[in-house]
Amino acid sequence: MKKIAALVGAGALVLVLVVPAMAVWSSKDVTISNGAGVNTNVYTTANTGYNGISGKCVWDSRIRTGEAEAVSVVSTNVNMSTVGCKTCGGDVRISNGAGVNTNVYTTANTGYNGISGGWKGKISTGAAGALSSVYTLVNYSVVGE
């Protein structure tokens, strides 16, 4: 778990930030139009498994694996508009459109180990942990001071 905390603390593995419009005007009428298409695919795998020992005469064989930890952090911000005005007397028109597709695959594996053809075999594996975090903010607008 210390590894997971260190990875998350070190920052996001994937960060998609799209800020196509940020407007601050003092005129009477404001018009903002935003459009975006975002496609994010993240594959994260940690694997210490699929180990094997085999033979005709394998004596006192051992397989030891460590921990497998996989972390995926995805943050997507699309079409954020801010209109600040002290005396907005006109119209504020904001038109946002977005298509967001996010696929995250996170796996951890310490299994599928085997010993064959021997006596007194021992397999020891560490823990497997997988964590995914997805944050998406789309078409966010703020109007005011």
**Locate tokens 């920052």: which residue?**
11
Single out the residue of 129, 131, 126, 108 nearest to residue 13, CA to CA: 131
pLDDT exceeding 70 applies to what percent of the chain?
Answer: 77
Considering the chain, what is the average pLDDT of its residues? 78
Is the pLDDT reported for residue 1 higher than 80?
Answer: no
Q: What pLDDT, on a 0 to 100 scale, did the predictor assign at position 121? A: 82
How far from 1 is each of 44, 131, 134, CA to CA, in Å? 16, 11, 19
